[in-house]
Amino acid sequence: MLQETINFVRQVERNRTIEGIYPVAKLARLSEAMFSSEGFVTAKLEFGRCLGFSCLKGEVSASIMAECQRCLQPIKTDLVGKFKFALLSSEEDFDLLPDELEPYLIEGDEQSVVDLIEDELLLSLPMVIIHKKPCSDFMNEHEALLKAEKEAMHPFAALKNLKGSLKN
């Protein structure tokens, strides 16, 4: 189980990698987008030096049950977030960063691992969560209508119909 807060600067000094899980149910902001709050987040955080800066590279992932925005039924959604932060103590250093690193402002001795994980998962949420196949009666009818319109607009549709009527 991941600790909720740790000292990022101390972890960089130790060149430490932290791996673990955390219950999705404890992520309040992410829970708002979920159908059920079962499951766990898996996280890997690597502290060290990158391009002359203290940095934190990491990956977070979770399988959540969200709500399909078409049929309002549950849909399993896999979330994956990858990040590479430069750990900075002042906003003045933001301009010095290479494009590969995003700034992460260190405030105080302890930083929230939970907030970091939740932020990354929220950023990886799809804009619209829907089933890949039509999942409601309306969508099934809509798909059939679109298919019929497409076939009717085909330049050889009239010939196909004529050929069919000649066989009868």
Give the DSSP letter string of 60-74: EEEEEEEE-TTT--E
Asked whether residue 113 falls in the same domain as residue 154, the answer is no
Which residue range(s) make up the domain with 158?
136-168
Asked whether residue 161 falls in the same domain as residue 104, the answer is no
Asked whether residue 103 falls in the same domain as residue 145, the answer is no
131: closest CA among 122, 140, 121?
A: 140
Q: How many alpha carbons lie under 13 Å from residue 11 in its C-beta half-sphere?
A: 21
Asked whether residue 26 falls in the same domain as residue 56, the answer is yes
The pLDDT value given to residue 76: 92
> pTM of the predicted model, to two decimals?
0.76
Asked whether residue 146 falls in the same domain as residue 111, the answer is no
Would you give per-residue pLDDT tens digits along the chain (168 residues)? 899 999 999 999 999 999 999 999 999 999 888 888 888 999 999 999 999 999 999 999 999 999 888 888 889 999 999 999 999 998 988 888 999 999 999 999 999 999 999 999 999 999 988 888 877 666 667 677 777 777 777 666 666 666 666 665
Asked whether residue 45 falls in the same domain as residue 22, the answer is yes
Asked whether residue 99 falls in the same domain as residue 159, the answer is no
The pLDDT value given to residue 133: 80
Asked whether residue 31 falls in the same domain as residue 114, the answer is yes
Asked whether residue 68 falls in the same domain as residue 144, the answer is no
**Measured distance CA(75)–CA(61) in Å, rounded:** 16
Asked whether residue 22 falls in the same domain as residue 103, the answer is yes
101: exposed, middle or buried (Cβ count in 10 Å: 0-12, 13-18, 19+):
buried
Asked whether residue 82 falls in the same domain as residue 160, the answer is no
The pLDDT value given to residue 23: 94
Asked whether residue 50 falls in the same domain as residue 91, the answer is yes
Total count of domains within the chain? 2
The pLDDT value given to residue 116: 96
